Chain A
């Protein structure tokens, strides 16, 4: 579990990466769940802030991707620089998720 503080507000406890991720993901879901454009969804400030959490958030993204097929593809690409899904899988969310999870295992990620 990630434990690095990501936000320190005077008078409040520091927020871990996981807490920050959950807070930002909830805001992102609230504002974008009804949209069809992945580009619009990924440009949401909360999504961009999740990307800025950096490599420590990758296991959390992978866990959610595996469990819910949540569209963390753009974030994973932005953080890792990889794109393991074949062009033939474009739009096929289960196949894209499978490709990312296989790539993550092959590259030593644990989630």
Chain B
């Protein structure tokens, strides 16, 4: 039986994913990729509704998302495989290049995503590609955070 999640993201239908949290309207994919669960991050034109890092252009352009993650120490990189000592995020965009989604790599090399207001899932990176999120257009990495500098 195909679940609503698999119907929305057919790449998940092969079964290589698992739901890791209940639905939560309080945070979204960009926040989750940034390691945040207490805010809704998006560069919407209506600044009173959504958080966006101060000083980063408030526009739905790839450059604005790159700048947002750069403000957290990420830089664009080649390769989506896991690298010891680094953590990675991946940015998705639609056919017009407009960002739609971000995922964060887990130490195992798999990826974690918050799906809008819906669940968090663990998945293979490209299994979320399709009509809703488009395709992965960029991977960024930073040195892995430790407990001392606020990381896990």
Contact = CB atoms under 8 A, between A and B. Distances in A.
Nearest to B40: A91
- Tell me whether chain A's interface is mostly helix, strand or loop, or mixed: loop
Contacts of B45: 39
Interface residues of B, number: 31
A47 interface: no
A100 to B, nearest CB: 12
A93 interface: yes
Nearest to B128: A34
A33 B116 contact: yes
B14 interface: no
Given A74-B49, A91-B50, A92-B51, A34 B25 contact: no
A37 B49 contact: no
A93 B26 contact: yes
Nearest to A69: B25
Interface string A29-64: 000111111110000000000000000000000000
Interface in B120-135: 132-133
A90 B47 contact: yes
Nearest to B98: A37
A86 B147 CA distance: 32
Contacts of B70: none
Interface range on chain A: under 10, 10 to 19, 20 to 34, or 35 or more?
A: 20 to 34
B144 interface: no
Q: Which of B41, B48, B115 has the most CB of A within 10 A?
A: B48
A20 B39 CA distance: 30
Contact of B46 (A32, A38, A70): A38
A36 B50 CA distance: 10
Contact of A90 (B26, B31, B51, B115): B51
Interface in B1-52: 8, 25-31, 38-42, 44-52
What are the 3 A-B residue pairs with the smallest beta carbon separation, nearest first?
A: A91-B51, A34-B116, A69-B25
7 contacts: A33-B115, A36-B116, A39-B46, A83-B48, A91-B39, A91-B50, A92-B39
Interface of A: 32-39, 68-71, 73-74, 83, 85, 87, 90-94, 96
